[in-house]
Amino acid sequence: MHVAALEMELHIGASDSLKAKRAVVRHLVETARRRLGVSASEVAYHDLWQRAGIGFCTVAPDAHHVEEILDKVERFVWSHPEVTVVSSVRHWLDLDP
C-alpha cells in the first residue's frame, strides 16, 4: 500500500473577498474529489482573501499509480485560470512492512 499527500499553496488574484476565494477553493476541492477520487481539503490561509492552502491525499496499491493520480491533480489545479500555484510539495507516508 502506498500513500501520498500533495500540498499546494495558491494565489487567487481575482478574489476580492473570502466568499469569492472560497468559491474557487470549493470548486477545486469538490471537483478533485469527484473526478480524481482523492481526499481534499483547504488546510491553510483560511482568513486571507487571495491565498489558499489545499491538501490532497490518495492511496493506491503501487507507487506509480499514486504518482499518476497526483500528477492529474496538479495538472487540474494548474489549468484553473483563476489560480496561480505558489508551491506544490508531495509527502509520502512510509509504512512498515
CA distance 75 to 28: 12
Q: What is the DSSP letter of 13?
A: T
Instruction: Give 59's strand partners.
Output: 3
- Residue 60 structural domain: 2-91
**Residue 19 covered by a domain:** yes
Sign of the C-alpha dihedral computed for residues 38, 39, 43 and 48 taken in this order: positive
Predicted pLDDT of residue 97:
60
**Residue 56 covered by a domain:** yes
**Residue 75 covered by a domain:** yes
**Residue 96 covered by a domain:** no
The answer, yes or no, to whether residue 81 has pLDDT greater than 70, is yes
Give exposure, 59-78, as e/b (b: 16+ Cβ within 10 Å): ebeeeeebeebbebbbebbe
Predicted pLDDT of residue 8:
97
The total of structural domains in the chain comes to 1
**Residue 97 covered by a domain:** no
CATH of the domain at 27: 3.30.70.1120
Task: Grade residue 83 by pLDDT with cuts at 50, 70 and 90.
Answer: very high
